Structure 1
């Protein structure tokens, strides 16, 4: 495992909820990242760890390889990849995301 993959793995495994995104929770720098933050806020998430991929090119590329998922944002809960903003929206609307985040 490369250094960047190890760093990503540590972040994913050592935080209950991690969102790899463009920008920060306060200032998302893409619409999809902003929507992911809004969905998580609507679910009452308070212990969210965000990683701004725009600040680290290695992580920006590495996270796509880590999950084998081509887009950002990416949400991880309890060490498991959940999905990007479209999947979060679908899960939220179906009522599947809230219990997952609360677990």
Structure 2
């Protein structure tokens, strides 16, 4: 399955002092992404090196279905709720070509 996964990574720069509100809002609107039938999951991470920088990683069944979601009204509403917290950011997309579970992950 790993070679079928399409991964999206967003780097989000959040306005100083708004980090906790951003995290709360992300949790509140997250179902608008994860409820999509092509979404495999998403994760929010805070940078350990840069203040106010977050990464959102989401996995999708394939690129065409992600691109359809990206231009949907559902996604526009999701972005509108997170936009007030942002000062900048970027998006990187990729195809997962391999996955290895670590010993602590219970992989086979």
TM-score band, normalised by the shorter chain? under 0.3
Structure whose CA Rg is larger: 2
> What's the TM-score once normalised by structure 2's chain length?
0.27
> What's the TM-score once normalised by structure 1's chain length?
0.28
Higher RCO structure (Cα 8 Å, ≥6 apart) = 2
Query: As a proportion of its length, which structure holds more strand?
Result: 2
